[in-house]
Amino acid sequence: MNDKRRAIVIGAGVAGLATSVRLASQGWQVQLFEQNDYPGGKLSWFQQDGFSFDAGPSLFTQPQLLEQLFADAGEPISNYFEYRRASESCRYFFDNGKRLTAWADVQALAQAMEVQLGEPAQNVLRYLQSSGRTYQHVGQLFLQQSLHRLRQFPWAKVAPALRHSRPSLLFGSLHGYNKRHFKTPEAVQIFDRYATYNGSNPYKAPGMLSLIPHLEMNEGTYYPRGGMISITQALHQLALAKGVQFHFSTPVDRIIENGGQVSGVAVGGQNLPAEVVVSNCDAYFTYHRLLQSPYEAKRLLRQERSSSALIFYWGIGQQFHDLGLHNIFFSQQYAREFEHLFRHKNFFPDPTVYVNITSKMEEGQAPAGMENWFVMVNAPAHHGQPWQQWIPQVRQRVIDKLSKALGADIASLIRTEAILDPPTIEQRTASFQGSLYGTSSNSRLAAFLRHPNTARRRQGLYLVGGSVHPGGGIPLCMQSAAITANLIAQDYKQEGHAV
């Protein structure tokens, strides 16, 4: 007879996979239900005409979080996953013709910004030192703890953390903070861009987001062998090794609750009991669909949604030596671009374009002599806009911009194409309005207003993933899983330590 406690995880995104591993390691019998026929959520992959494309997140930082998960699960990560540090974090292209290769070595980066952009190297070094201190003293404290269990929060660490938080970090915008620290508009634009890492507007998001560059520029960026999909594959295989039972192509109909107590889920006409249910769905859909509570779901919309994305997957019939793994082609009028995204809910005529090319790092990602381009522009959240009318227009603008910057006819080089738009993102990943990160950080209190990892007034229901604390992106989803698993361990007093 199996006397293990039963847990059900809804959604096989990164946070759902990591949570299932942690719960199984705690001794729970875990079942994971996923509406798609594959794991990973946004972190998925496909092949087309000989080209391989990572379909979602393309930046890999903080590999130590993945290492820690495997260590806590008692499995050697080397049996599942390999990665290496990249020699550069990004290549930047500006409308005025200036270019920058952002080297992984901080000293080399600072020197390059001085030579190529005219930004004094000392400004860059001071900024990144401050970014590192902010992350160490403030970021880690608030990103690794639940902010909603006041009695369990380490309040003794708050006062020292606040001593490292200048008013401009808390009350000013990221753009304002950057403008005070840099001399050149190019340097300001580079560091403003980090607000987009959680789908926010640098002209409204707080200066505290200046801690994000620390993760990429001080700690480094990495490339996983096989592309980003190898992260999903490693987590899936680890979960299987820990005994997690997967049910793909099996959407959950609703979460069963009675008198404030969750008792399982309804799936395909059956009621499946569980002491704990963890939703890796968007918090909005968790309340609206799974709990069938439109009123509570509507309350979540008081916070502004994050941006979405329009992605073109292009097989390119040529190699470009000017490009690296990560490339950014900036808009000339950055402030207006964000005004269009968040105020007008449409595309700016001159969008910033991101191009990721994994064939730069590994053979086999594209046919010989060719490249696999993941081409993304920031998009507004889905509000019923005429996407099919807009997409061809944006596509042509992107082609024109890249052709001008690279001195080549990009349209004639496209050998294969696929497109992902905000409505499709919403449909495939249950991300309300196609928002990549749930809510934006376009206010000072956004981090504290993000939904907690526990459900309001429902014992036994927990939430993980990009729409809840601490936020979106692979590192934060990994931390969300750790926070949630620790809360469950505390609430159910599992024997052994929380992992």
Tokens of 177: 């903070």
Band the pLDDT of 155: cuts 50, 70, 90.
very low
Predicted confidence at residue 147, as pLDDT, reads 59
Burial class (CB in 10 A: 0-12, 13-18, 19+), 393: exposed
- For residue range 70-120, list pLDDT tens digits in order: 999 999 999 999 999 999 999 999 999 999 999 999 999 999 999 999 999
Predicted confidence at residue 145, as pLDDT, reads 64
Band the pLDDT of 303: cuts 50, 70, 90.
confident
- Taking the domains of the chain in order of start, what are their residue ranges? 6-45+65-84+225-304+441-492, 105-217, 307-436
- Residue 494's CB is within 10 A of a number of other CB atoms, namely 17
State the first-to-last Cα distance of the chain, in angstroms, to the nearest integer: 26
The pTM (predicted TM-score) of the whole model is 0.93
CB 472 within 8 A of CB 437: yes
DSSP label of 304: P
Whether 445 has a pLDDT exceeding 80, the answer reads no
Predicted confidence at residue 495, as pLDDT, reads 43
Closest CA to 212 of 203, 227, 200: 200
- Report which residue type is found at 433: Q
List, in order, residues 6 or more apart from 294 with CB less than 8 Å away: 287, 288
Whether 457 has a pLDDT exceeding 90, the answer reads no
Q: Mean pLDDT over residues 331-352, rounded?
A: 97
Cis upstream peptide for 470 (omega within 30°): yes
Predicted confidence at residue 308, as pLDDT, reads 97
Could you give the count of Cα atoms lying within 13 Å of 137 in the half-sphere of its Cβ? 16
3-state secondary structure at position 162: helix
- Give the β-pairing of 414-420 and 308-316: antiparallel
CATH domain 6-45+65-84+225-304+441-492 topology: FAD/NAD(P)-binding domain (3.50.50)
Q: What is the average pLDDT score of the chain? A: 92
Band the pLDDT of 359: cuts 50, 70, 90.
very high
- For residue range 174-207, list pLDDT tens digits in order: 999 999 999 999 999 999 999 999 999 999 999 9
Higher-confidence residue of 499 and 400: namely 400
- Report which residue type is found at 65: L
Higher-confidence residue of 450 and 35: namely 35
Whether 430 has a pLDDT exceeding 90, the answer reads no
Whether 328 has a pLDDT exceeding 50, the answer reads yes
Whether 165 has a pLDDT exceeding 90, the answer reads no
